Structure 1
Amino acid sequence: MSTNSAAGDTDAAMTDCQLYLISPLDVSGGFPDRLERALAAGSGCVTAFQFRLKDVDQHDAARLAGPLQEVCAARDVAFIVNDSMALAKRVGADGVHLGQGDGDVREARELLGREAQIGVTCHASRHLAMEAGEAGADYVAFGAFFDSTTKASAHRPEPEILEWWSGLFEIPCVAIGGITPENCAPLVKAGADFLAVSSAVWSGDEVRAVNAFAEQIAAA
């Protein structure tokens, strides 16, 4: 996952900030249609989608992933599995996002291959981000920048960490945590390559939300 394509070269020239959608915990029923509408909105500003489920066995998770992968593939959007290297391998995902307790980047690389996109949650830690980069991560994620209804976090980085990272490293950085169209501008201006968003999109009209994010990113 690079800043100019869903699964491109992370050394490519930096482009505008893009959206990284994170799924709600319920992706059953008509959710594939909602995802299709979201990806079609915002003039293609969504370039990655994270499949995030909790307390669902791998067989059911793989079944739910299939239709969503098809939607993402049709739009050239990277399909990233949250937490589980095994599930990412099973479904042939474009990559995996690892929390600090979900395994090592090198282990994920060995299992998923050289082309896999591997991201790491680094909270508010410059040290963890540098470690992830040295281990071969394709992107690092900082947050939560704001209160989030999706996932509780005691970590509250300032936007300056994005400015620091983007000024020193070519590996893209993702801002996460309670981000909305109304509060995202400082993160874009600070250098976030991606805004990871969930409830701000799925709690209402997904098309309107993605369009609003696209407008704010362009204005910033």
Structure 2
Amino acid sequence: MKENFGLYLILTDPVAGYETTAKAAVDCGLRYLQLRMKNTPRNEVVEMALALRKITRGSHTRFIVNDDLAVAIEADADGIHLGQDDLSVEEARKQWNRPGKIFGLSTHSMEQARLAERAEPDYIGIGPVFPTPTKTDTGPALGTAEVGRIALATPLTSVAIGGINAANLPELLQAGADNFCVVGAVNHAPDPAAAIRQLQRIGKRQSF
């Protein structure tokens, strides 16, 4: 059954700080919070993952680690998000055979979304919706119409991602996306709680 939770936040170099932004996400009741620290020494990633695990533990917010299964296991995260070139969902489940762990998978086309159904991840990312500077390995932007088409077609819970902000979010939701992931729209905000609440308000206004 598809899950509808609205905003999914990825933490990458937040100007307000990782822990402050994570606390804002928990206080605002976000369902998903992902840590993505590319090109960072592993010990720093582990240290931050452990800190965010403390903030999210016992809350409504599920803590996800990007790409690195070993870090997710060490921090006892709620789950792992995998890219097309990372460890497969099947192999990740074998290595992290713990009840209730969440496995997400990035997809960049209708074909990849359909292939993902075989692996049965807990959710798929669909994107990039719009051009984005934070990811350079995902191919051209799909646009809102195509992302909406994929989201409506897949039986899996899906999250649209890539260049989403308060200005273009209504168009995306009207195209058929249920859930949406942001990076810069919150990470670049000095007041992350205010940015999160603004996006949540837009999401609620556009829901039917």
- Shorter chain as normaliser: what TM range? 0.7 to 0.9
Aligned ranges 1:20-99 → 2 under 5 Å: 20-25=8-13, 30-41=17-28, 44=29, 46-99=30-83
Distance 1:127 1:63 in 2: 37
Runs ≥4 in structure 1, deviation > 4 angstroms?
none
Output the aligned Cα RMSD: 2.2
- TM-score scaled to structure 2, two decimals? 0.87
How many residues align structurally?
A: 203
Distance 2:100 2:146 in 1: 27
Match among 88, 106, 112 for residue 128 of structure 1: 112
The answer to whether residue 170 in structure 2 is matched with residue 185 in structure 1 is: yes
Deviation at 1:90, TM superposition (A): 1.9
The one-character-per-residue Cα deviations of 1:102-155 (angstroms, maximum 9, x if unpaired) are 1111001111225221111111x1111111121121111111111223223432
| Aligned residues of 1:176 and 1:197 also touching (Cα < 8 A) | yes
Distance 1:193 1:148 in 2: 20
Listed as ranges, the gaps of 5+ residues in structure 1 are: 1-10
Q: Which residue in the other structure is 1:173 paired with?
A: 158
Deviation at 1:88, TM superposition (A): 1.4
| Aligned residues of 2:14 and 2:186 also touching (Cα < 8 A) | no
Distance 1:166 1:148 in 2: 20
Q: Percent identity?
A: 30
- TM-score scaled to structure 1, two decimals? 0.83
Listed as ranges, the gaps of 5+ residues in structure 2 are: none
| Aligned residues of 1:133 and 1:139 also touching (Cα < 8 A) | no
